[in-house]
Structure 1
Amino acid sequence: MFRRRPPLPPFPPGAVLVGGAVRDWLRGRLPVDFDWAVPEPEAGARGLAAATGGRAFALDEERGYWRVHAPGNVQHDFVPLPADLNDDLRRRDFTVNALALTASGGVIDPLGGQRDLKRRVLRMVSEENLRADPLRVWRAARFMTTLGLTPEPRTEAAVRAVTGELRAGALPLPAPERVRDEVHALLAHPEAARGVLVLDDLGLLALTVPELLEAKGIEQGGFHHLDVFGHSVEALHQLLARRPDADLVLRWATLLHDVGKARTLARDPQTGRRTFHGHDKVGAELTAAILTRLRLPGEDVRRAAALVRAHMVPLPAGEKEARRFVHRRRELLPDLLSLMLADREAARGPSSSPASRHAYALGMERVLAALTEQPSAPPPLLTGEEVMALLNLGPGPRVGAALRALAEARAVGEVASAQEARAFVEAWGREHVSKGSG
């Protein structure tokens, strides 16, 4: 499985490259995260920063930990060279990470990590090491997904045992930020949907996004051929088949788009069919709670929740409605369309047909055409001061409402000039301001 190995940056004086960077290099991949063990971390970091045009800074001056942010989103960490490197490697998580590389190209491999890497085997260094840092069980799921490694039986049993102890409270849960980073590394992979199933199989999904598991066994019928959980995972698969460049926010939104269905499940009293009224709104609230719990940035949380909230919006039946669709949801496009299409393609139940899929495709085309025609909002035809003068209003929410109504009217082609805009605002004022005053 080893490919031609890419050139590495110059080794700092006395440095040894350790861990995952060595693993990736052996696989023929140029690492983007380098871990260096060096006699003098500060000198090594400053030297590499000067050579690469990066920025060096101390992570922990007392312990001698330094980091360099280099161009191209490459990161270099520097730690003191241990007195016994082999002993340090034996304290790591898996044999494929218990590797080191010298400046002369010699591989230090006390535990057979190269052999396991060639055989695509995931082997723990020891169960005690997994318990020492339980985050390593999430890393096992990541390596199974991103490296295509299969855990040998003792390692799989240990991962399941540690996961069980975490779920029982016998071991402390890792910090949410650390769990997030492992899950993000898994979700960023082309096989992210399979990775979610790996997390589920190992019992880790219950520790990460338990809300998703509420959807297991909830059948939907109609357009759907899978239960809600299976449909959610399949939607992520469909998204990545069409948008391999989808960012993590869109991947999260697609995976969580139906997370509100379990909590909105009801029976229609007349037909007996299952309904999920309001699952988009409940799902948006749950998405925000889940991603906040995992410490995602606030803007990412808001965008993912907005995508989930909007995923049930009907597609337009005509060109004017397509322009309205774009105007109202411009900030979510084109990601919203990608989510909606993944949702639709993950549903192949009895109500699905070539004709229904064709109609859906036409709606998508109308929106894309309107977005292409008007990729950004047109400049306003009137200012707030002009609207206030026309309606004899002071500053307040009604001025904003009038401006929003005017902006939408222009976006859909109802208003094209300043004169038409003034007439529109005056008509709007007669209908809304007088009613509000009364």
Structure 2
Amino acid sequence: MQIYLVGGAVRDKRLGRPGVDHDHVVVGATPEAMLAEGYKAVGKDFPVFLHPRTGEEYALARTERKTGRGYHGFAFHADASVTLEDDLARRDLTINAMAEDADGRLVDPYGGARDLETRVLRHVSPAFVEDPVRVLRVARFLARFAPLGFTIADETLALMRTMVEDGEVDHLVPERVWAETRKALAEPRPSAFLQALRACGALRVLFPEIDALYGVPQRAEFHPEVDTGVHTEMVVDMAATLAPGDDLIGWCALVHDLGKALTPEEELPRHVMHEERGVEPVRAVAQRLRVPNEHAALSELCCRLHLLVHRAFELKPGTVLELFEKLDAFRKPARVDQLLLVCEADKRGRLGLGDTPYPQAGYLREAFAAACAIKAAPLVAQGITGTAIAEAMKRERVRAIATLKATHA
């Protein structure tokens, strides 16, 4: 029995990045031998075991064979005769197909170390085309490593295009698309995810609502970048800067402007009512990908309300309170900061405006705090009862916001 550290842990160690997961491959063993050593079996489709003390994953070396369409169309083979090189050959990218033995010696049959040095994401073998999830994974890895100078190898991008043209991507189940998208939005440069998918044609298949934004013009005085698709890329990157690792903020940033693709051509480059037009496509893509409920709800609210937030200083105190009520903020106060982060990313995600202050956020946070300071107890002490309490609280909240607004005049 020989045990090797494999995959991301080896890659990240050589990049000088902290490793999170430590996966291992076991060569020359059987399931019975693993169980005899105290490992706990957890794999359903192939033999994977948990270490009795560390809880880390140890998988028997295996090969795989394409048997049908999509992610589940594979048959796996694992026994003591499968070599480490056989196991590494089934992996997606060369930088993920390296291993280390117990003494820390590198095993690198497919040139992963070289591709790390030259900053290239390159497929291991032609079998890459057999798993459509790899299109999304390569795009996600680019979102992680683009800040380090990584690019996708031309031949790998060509294979990704082939997979799209052959319809393999059509067979991706919503859960896998969402899982990879969610991870990509939590990476440092989510725009690279969009760019990679667009370059191979997958964005049009998986996210037609986002693909439709490219080429749609905006008013240059507000959007120096002009192109709505480019603006979306800048917004998701700004969201990743303002809220690192937060895929909820990233998702809301990604879909906040979908209504601009529906603006009648004769109205361009203006986008009157795009926030209302955007609700239907935001809802559609959330339902199609089966995104979590809060992602779906907050993204719809961000779509509807982001222009109101931008105009915060122009709003009447009663309208500011209505904004909070539409958010259901008094029951879910975290939504205020979340909406403001998305709106700040929208405002600063524009060409040359990345360092622009966004005072609306501070003002609305103060306004919400002022509204939250109004309590029912003093009103009850005045003899107010029943439904009149809610009406009185609303009046007092509007008055508190108006008092604050006067200090910002």
TM-score norm. by structure 2 comes to 0.75
Q: Which residue of 2 aligns with 1:223?
A: 222
Distance of 2:269 and 2:61 partners within structure 1: 62
* Aligned partners of 1:220 and 1:228 also within 8 Å: yes
Residue of structure 2 in register with 1:411 after alignment: 397
Question: For the Cα contact (< 8 Å) 2:191–2:237, is it kept in 1?
Answer: yes
Deviations along 1:6-53, one digit per CA (max 9) or x if unpaired, are xxxxxxx8532222222122222232233222447799799999xxxx
- Cα distance in 1 for partners of 2:133, 2:157 equals 15
Name 1:27's counterpart in structure 2.
15
Q: Distance in 2 between matches of 1:42 and 1:250?
A: 46
Q: Partner letter of residue 324 of structure 1?
A: L
The one-letter code of the counterpart of 1:261 is K
Q: How far apart are 1:315 and its partner, in Å?
A: 0.8
Cα contact 1:45–1:78 (8 A) shared by 2: no
Structure index of larger Rg: 1
> Is contact 1:41-1:79 (8 Å) kept?
no
Which residue matches 1:58?
42
Could you say which residue in structure 2 is the equivalent of 1:282? 277
- Counterpart residue number, 1:305: 300
Q: Which residue of 2 aligns with 1:91?
A: 90
Alpha-carbon distance in 2 for matches of 1:42, 1:321: 70
Q: In 1, distance between residues paired with 2:249 and 2:123? A: 33
CA deviation profile, 1:163-208 (whole Å, cap 9, x unmatched) = 2223xxx665222222222222322122112332232222221132
Kindly indicate whether the alpha-carbon contact (under 8 Å) linking 1:59 and 1:67 is maintained by their aligned counterparts in 2. no
Going from structure 1 to structure 2, the CA distance change for 1:30 and 1:380 (only over 3 Å counts) comes to same
Distance in 2 between residues matched to 1:45 and 1:259, nearest whole Å? 53
Work out whether residues 19 and 100 of structure 1, in 8 Å CA contact, stay in contact via their aligned partners in 2.
yes
Q: How far is the alpha carbon of 1:363 from its aligned partner?
A: 3.9
Cα deviation for residue 135 of structure 1 reads 1.3
Give the deviation of 1:380 after TM superposition: 3.1
Q: In the alignment, residue 117 of structure 1 is paired with which amino acid? A: L
Task: Give the match for residue 36 of structure 1.
Answer: 24
Partner of 1:77: 57
Q: Structure 1 residues 407 and 316 mapped into 2: Cα distance closer, same or farther (>3 Å)?
A: farther
SS in 2 for 1:260: helix
Cα separation, partners in 2 of 1:63 and 1:337, compared to 1, 3 Å:
closer
Q: For residue 404 of structure 1, report the CA deviation from its aligned partner.
A: 4.6
1:104–1:414 distance in 2 versus 1, CA, 3 Å: closer
Question: In structure 1, how many angstroms separate the alpha carbons of the residues matched to 2:344 and 2:94?
Answer: 41
- Kept after mapping to 2: 8 A contact 1:266/1:276: no
Q: What is the number of residues matched between the two proteins?
A: 365
Residue 146 of structure 1 is aligned with which of 144, 149, 170? 144
Which of 187, 190, 194 in structure 1 is aligned with 2:188? 190
% same residue: 28
Contact 1:322 / 1:367 at 8 angstroms: preserved in 2?
Answer: no
Q: What is the CA-CA distance between 1:97 and the residue it aligns to? A: 1.4
> Do structure 1's residue 255 and structure 2's residue 254 form an aligned pair?
yes
- In structure 2, relative to structure 1, the CA distance for the partners of 1:347 and 1:141 (3 Å cut) is closer
Q: Residues 318 and 86 of structure 1: is their aligned pair in 2 closer, same or farther, counting only changes over 3 Å?
A: closer
RMSD in angstroms over aligned alpha carbons? 3.9
User: Counterpart in 1 of 2:200?
Assistant: 202
**What is aligned with 1:369?**
366
Shift of 1:248: 0.9
In the TM superposition, 1:346-365 aligns within 5 A as: 346-347=349-350, 361-365=358-362
Q: State how far apart, in whole Å, the 2-side matches of 1:281 and 1:322 are.
A: 17
SS of 2:214's equivalent in the other structure is coil
Aligned residues of 1:45 and 1:67 also touching (Cα < 8 A): no
Segments of structure 1 that go 5 or more residues without pairing to the other structure are 1-12, 50-55, 392-398, 416-438
Equivalent-residue separation in structure 2 for 1:348 and 1:156 (angstroms) = 28
Gaps of 5+ in 2: 63-80, 402-409
Distance 1:124 1:362, change over 3 A: closer
Q: Partner residue of 1:424?
A: none
63 and 267 in structure 1: CA distance in 2 versus 1, 3 angstrom threshold: closer
User: Distance between the aligned counterparts of 1:334 and 1:306, measured in 2?
Assistant: 13
Q: Deviations over 1:186-244 (max 9, x none)?
A: 22122112332232222221132110122222222252331222222222233334x14
Partner of residue 126, structure 1: 125
2:5 match: secondary structure: strand
| CA gap 1:410/1:42 in 2 versus in 1, 3 angstroms | farther
CA offset at residue 267 of structure 1? 4.0
| Letter matched to residue 46 of structure 2 | R
* 2:223 maps to 1:237: no
For 2:143 and 2:222, the matched residues in 1 are separated by 30
The one of 312, 315, 334 equivalent to 2:312 is 315
1:295 paired residue number: 290
Q: How far did 1:257 drift?
A: 0.9
Deviation string, structure 1 residues 289-319 (Cα, Å, up to 9, x no partner): 2133223222222122222221121314489
Please say which of residues 37-46 and 194-203 is displaced more in the overlay: 37-46
Which amino acid is 2:233 matched to? V
Corresponding residue for 2:340? Answer: 337
CA–CA distance in structure 1, aligned partners of residues 344 and 206 of structure 2: 26
- Opposite residue 240 of structure 2, the aligned amino acid is L
